Structure 1
Amino acid sequence: MLTSRLSLTLGVFCSSSVVLGGLVQKPHLVLPPGSQQNRDAVVDIFTTSYEAYRTYAYGHDNLLPISRKFSDVRNGWGASIVDAMSTMHIMGLNDFFSEAVQFASNIDFNKSRTADTVSVFETTIRYLGGLLSAYELSGQQFPALLSKAKEVADKMAFAWVAGNDIPYGHLNFSTNTPSHSQSNIAEAGTLTMEWATLTKYTRNDTYRELSERSARRIASQKSSHHHASSGLPAQGIDPATGTPSGGYVTWGGGSDSYFEYLIKYARLNDAADPMFVDAWRAAVDSSIHTLLKTSKIGDLVYLADYDASKSIRHVGSHLACFHGGNWLFGGRLLDNDTIVDIGLQLVDACWNTYASTETGIGPETFAYTSSESDGFYTGGAPPTAKQLAFNAEHGFYITAGSYILRPEVLESNFYAWRVTGDRKYIDRAASAVKSFNRFLSVNNTFAGLYDVNSSSSLKIDDTESFWFAEVLKYLYLTFDDPSHVSLDEYVFNTEAHPFKLSPPKRIYGSHSSSPTKPLS
């Protein structure tokens, strides 16, 4: 089944540059009946969740929905508020948005409000991305949002030490010193969209230059650790040397959004080096030839992992399930039907993890038996009799059954709807809304599950900010007018904050700002 697809890809990855002019969305999309009711149901979930956050956790990072308390896991700057702002604006929740702008305009990013260090990656995608997207969506009428974006980026710039290409992953904001530890390509390679957008509005090119330098260094890696070195860098990276660490290759956590941003950044910034498009195409090409596997049961198409011992691991994750949507996005931009076709099959396999459980919600991690000669090695314990029985029925088996309010399956489902116009994706999103209302509701808000395959599962006492930023935004937009936040007018960062397509100019004068000092 895969052989015919492989032959179609030969010769399509050789161009050194490309204009990303293709339309992503299917023209003249029309929503089916009932979409408005589903859209309104999503707004109800958002407002219910956010009112609970306002009551028990306002100003803090996360709501604890069961104990009705709060936690500060993103340095105490109010992550849920900043992360929710773009969703509020898109949903037309103007009172919430005005309140959030007022709060965000007064955050003090000069030091963490918690004892832990600051993650450059998490702070970039949630705070920097959230502030800049809200600034854009609201017509640039709140300059304090841009000012705060600059403030937090100037602190994060200390992560680049002594001219290193790769930033350290964590910083002490009180002393402006990084934690000298290993990083990964997701942390170091998921900065370009936000930092280049900051350059666009501040006209200081150092922000863009720092983030591009890191992504370009990763893309240029020629690791000897794995035979898929063409386009698939290892997950680990050493910021001190800029060299790969270990040989693990995955589209899952630790690598995921590096691959995601290669094509998205090229789309957002038409002036970007063609290297970004070429690196994404090389990653997809290598993945098709090395990682693409079909399940022995059900002919489901997955992207496997590849470990340092040069073994294929037949594992998948909720986190990795962004890949279907990403391949649809890039495949449409490149007018490559092969990539689009595989992307749709990846979307179907990830949706199957939802459709196969008692709750209709997918698990954190899973594994499968492959129809290829390389079997079902996962790098972990062999499947139990119960897991094998589940696999025989569903084409995969659950290895970690929790659901922590992740967005990726519904994200890819959203892309599939906007790309194809096939109503089945609307129906899938509608079934997710029903599952959320039935199984996640608690204390007049919503919480995750410890076991998605148990209709009586205990709930998890935590609401991550991406519930507001991603899950509910992608669901809402699935049921909303397709011309609203069109995929041909906006590019979403990995936290689902949309950035308007309006390429920044590349030359803004002096590059004199030092990467190891706050940028003026």
Structure 2
Amino acid sequence: MVGGGFVHSSQNDRSQQGLDWRAPTARSGGNLGGYGFASKNNSGTGNGNGSSGGGAGLGNMNSFFGGKKNRDLPVYKDKPYFKPRRTGPNRTASRVVYAVVACFMMMLLYVFWGGWGSPAAVGPVGETGENLWKWIQTFDAEDEPASSKKVDWEERREKVKDVFTIRYDEYKPVSKKGRNMVEGGMGWTIVDALDTMILMNLTSRVQHARHWIHNSLRYDQNHDVNTFETTIRAPGEDLYIEKAADLADRLLGAFESPSGVPYASINLNTSLGIPSHADGGASSTAEATTVQLEFKYLAKLTGEAEYWEIVEHVMEVVDNQQAEDGLLPIFIYADKGEFRGRNIRLGSRGDSYYEYLIKQYLQTSEGEPIYKEMWDEALTGISKHLITYTKNGRMAVLAERPDGLDHSLLPKMDHLVCFMPGTIALGATHGQLLSKARQSSSWSRRQDEEILLARELMKTCWATYLATTTGLAPEITYFKTDSTPLMLSDVYPDSALFLPPRSSKDSSYTPEELDLISASLEDKDVWKSDIEIHAQDTHNLQRPETVESLFYMYRITGDKQYREWGWQMFKSFVKHTAVVEKVSPGDHEGDDSNQRIIDSSHDADDQSHASYRVVGFTSLSNANIDPPMKRDNMESFWMAETLKYFYLLFSDRDFIPVEDVVFNTEAHIFPRFKVGGDLKTGWSRKPRE
């Protein structure tokens, strides 16, 4: 996972190696730090952000991701390739893979903010922060129906960039302090947000990040880190393969368990895997099965099949447990390779296992049908056991079975579950525009029902935003259902979702748009009565899952309502999570002596003798009161995922075409490629009992 899916090396590196190694895109002047993505506007936007034009200028990026879908990627092994440290007599080769993914993202974010330690490293806010504050004051006046005016989506996309450029592994935007996860920092935020900077054409910041990564990033800290979190956040780039290899060399020790299932954590200095200190020592099922895209891509780039085999083995171990209807308990023992407990959910600790089933299939250009089979089986299980409907509004709920499939249903959805609408639509169409996908001879009734389910769940996820005072969803939402929950099988007893895809195909089938059964969102009194938000669940961490699904749903269906929902959501984030400073006349940038934080949700009492500016964005402790309670914390996924998906949602459809790429669970972009040689499925499923 090099460079968030960007595999170009710098021109200087290649010339020094005396090789003619070119990615399949044309290079031109004004490239983004060696990525080969030319900008159409090198004059800058004049906003003080150090940007060079908008994302629309990255024409060559689309050439790289689009075009020849099943291209053979350049293989890093074609270059003089150093031997990974875990290769050879001591079998020390395998650790390179894990490191590569984690390395690049973490490095880049550090640089973007110029260091984690001192408040002075926050960087200037200036005119952009003041303009954002003024814009927030116009929100009420903007609340006219979208149909009554022409929408400038390019202008809206630029607003996302403005928010991104307002200001640590973890950053505290209220107190203006950073906190390192390890001594010296891991560049967690800067690495995670690097490809967002590239998409937005923030050239100078990308250059700054590359410089810091090259000169300052180290991964030899004697500290334990989460195996999964480090992998998904840190892709690398060709220029940094040695740093990536160093980190991977350390991370792959997590896989050295008796079963091959990775331990929950690993010590970076000793490269020893560490069982979880909770949950009986078991690893999260989602975390153990959500490193496959990253390792497989690294195997493709390096030509080292061992990386591929290590993570494929995890999938084999998991599938050999033969979980009922493809629904897995949320914990698995690394030592035994067996599940712990019977808790079934698609929220925390379960979610991305299902996401990576269909994405592994798409990553290899549909060359590994075993993962499509597993995805279809799981979606059938979800439809059969977990989809229920609310009591009054009949909104679809993807519920939980805490004690197993033969026990009671819990009508609860983590915000994390809201990745599913988009993922279901992606699985049905493989990223194609729906109208085009329906022209395929293989289109079936089942796929139309999958799209219907995606629409219903998308509507439910959006309703959790509309249900709160701030318009921002809680971390967890509960729903009222009938005493005997109404299941999908009760509403659609003959649903094709209960049949394997091959059994639901019918050459005489005519595609059709199926009607939603849920109440209109305009009938708020009806559907809102079904929503319960508990006091301990009102926090909002600026999570990306709902806007992620809005992005997929808009790109796939072409329905403009998903874009409009996203715009409303974006404005709610800006209005309620912005950290705003009051600046008295004579104050200077970086001088905190006469500055104070005010509430961004309401107009300031006195604006005659002071100005105001947005200086950051923060998570909320309570999103169901106005003004909300701020948490003084900004997670790296706010920049790496949430803002990236807003930016892409407001972009033209041909900007990073969904049918040509795969996004990992941290929204880093990988091109699709073909399997071949040693890089192919090395296992088969056991017969189902």
TM-score range, shorter chain: 0.7 to 0.9
Corresponding residue for 2:674?
Answer: 503
Q: Give 2:154's match in structure 1, choosing from 27, 30, 36.
A: 36
Deviations 1:312-331 (A, max 9, x none): 11100111111111111001
2:283 touches 2:333 (CA, 8 Å); kept in 1? yes
Are 1:158 and 2:269 counterparts?
Answer: no
User: Distance between the aligned counterparts of 1:412 and 1:450, measured in 2?
Assistant: 24
User: Distance between the aligned counterparts of 1:373 and 1:434, measured in 2?
Assistant: 39
User: Distance between the aligned counterparts of 2:186 and 2:554, measured in 1?
Assistant: 35
Identity of aligned residues (%): 30
Deviation at residue 434 of structure 1 after TM alignment: 1.4
Are 1:285 and 2:380 counterparts?
Answer: yes
C-alpha change, 1:490 and 1:434, in structure 2 (3 Å) is same
Amino acid at match of 1:215: M
Corresponding residue for 1:188?
Answer: 288
Corresponding residue for 1:202?
Answer: 302
C-alpha change, 1:327 and 1:466, in structure 2 (3 Å) is same
1:205 touches 1:506 (CA, 8 Å); kept in 2? no
Equivalenced residues, count: 440
C-alpha change, 1:375 and 1:331, in structure 2 (3 Å) is closer
1:112 touches 1:174 (CA, 8 Å); kept in 2? yes
Corresponding residue for 2:229?
Answer: 122
Deviations 1:92-135 (A, max 9, x none): 1111111112223345454237x4x111100110013xx2xxx3
Q: Give 2:196's match in structure 1, choosing from 59, 68, 87.
A: 87
Deviation at residue 147 of structure 1 after TM alignment: 3.0
Corresponding residue for 2:455?
Answer: 344
C-alpha change, 1:146 and 1:348, in structure 2 (3 Å) is farther
Corresponding residue for 2:365?
Answer: 270
Corresponding residue for 1:56?
Answer: none
Amino acid at match of 1:65: P
2:637 touches 2:666 (CA, 8 Å); kept in 1? yes
Corresponding residue for 1:26?
Answer: none
2:253 touches 2:273 (CA, 8 Å); kept in 1? yes
277-286 vs 335-344, which moves further: 335-344
2:393 touches 2:526 (CA, 8 Å); kept in 1? no
Task: Give the RMSD, CA atoms, in angstroms.
Answer: 2.4
Deviation at residue 145 of structure 1 after TM alignment: 2.9
- What TM-score does the superposition give when structure 2 sets the normalisation length? 0.61
User: Distance between the aligned counterparts of 1:369 and 1:375, measured in 2?
Assistant: 11
Are 1:486 and 2:486 counterparts?
Answer: no
Amino acid at match of 1:101: R
Q: Return 5+ residue gaps in structure 2 as ranges.
A: 1-68, 70-149, 276-280, 431-441, 488-523, 581-614, 683-689
SS in 2 for 1:122: helix
Corresponding residue for 2:546?
Answer: 409
C-alpha change, 1:164 and 1:424, in structure 2 (3 Å) is same
SS in 2 for 1:450: strand
Deviation at residue 294 of structure 1 after TM alignment: 0.6
User: Distance between the aligned counterparts of 1:274 and 1:374, measured in 2?
Assistant: 34
1:192 touches 1:211 (CA, 8 Å); kept in 2? yes
Corresponding residue for 2:558?
Answer: 421
User: Distance between the aligned counterparts of 1:179 and 1:297, measured in 2?
Assistant: 47
Deviation at residue 504 of structure 1 after TM alignment: 4.7
Deviation at residue 212 of structure 1 after TM alignment: 1.3
2:187 touches 2:217 (CA, 8 Å); kept in 1? no
Are 1:450 and 2:450 counterparts?
Answer: no
Correspondence 1:323-402 to 2 at 5 A: 323-333=420-430, 335=443, 336-371=447-482, 373-374=484-485, 393-399=528-534, 400-402=537-539
1:271 touches 1:505 (CA, 8 Å); kept in 2? no
Q: Return 5+ residue gaps in structure 1 as ranges.
A: 1-20, 22-31, 53-59, 136-142, 224-228, 377-388, 512-520
User: Distance between the aligned counterparts of 1:262 and 1:73, measured in 2?
Assistant: 31
User: Distance between the aligned counterparts of 2:363 and 2:409, measured in 1?
Assistant: 34
C-alpha change, 1:208 and 1:271, in structure 2 (3 Å) is farther
Deviation at residue 69 of structure 1 after TM alignment: 0.3
The higher-RCO structure (CA 8 Å, 6+ apart) is: 1
Amino acid at match of 1:123: T
2:259 touches 2:317 (CA, 8 Å); kept in 1? no
1:197 touches 1:504 (CA, 8 Å); kept in 2? no
User: Distance between the aligned counterparts of 1:506 and 1:405, measured in 2?
Assistant: 42
1:266 touches 1:274 (CA, 8 Å); kept in 2? yes
Correspondence 1:102-117 to 2 at 5 A: 102-106=211-215, 108-112=217-221, 115=223, 117=224
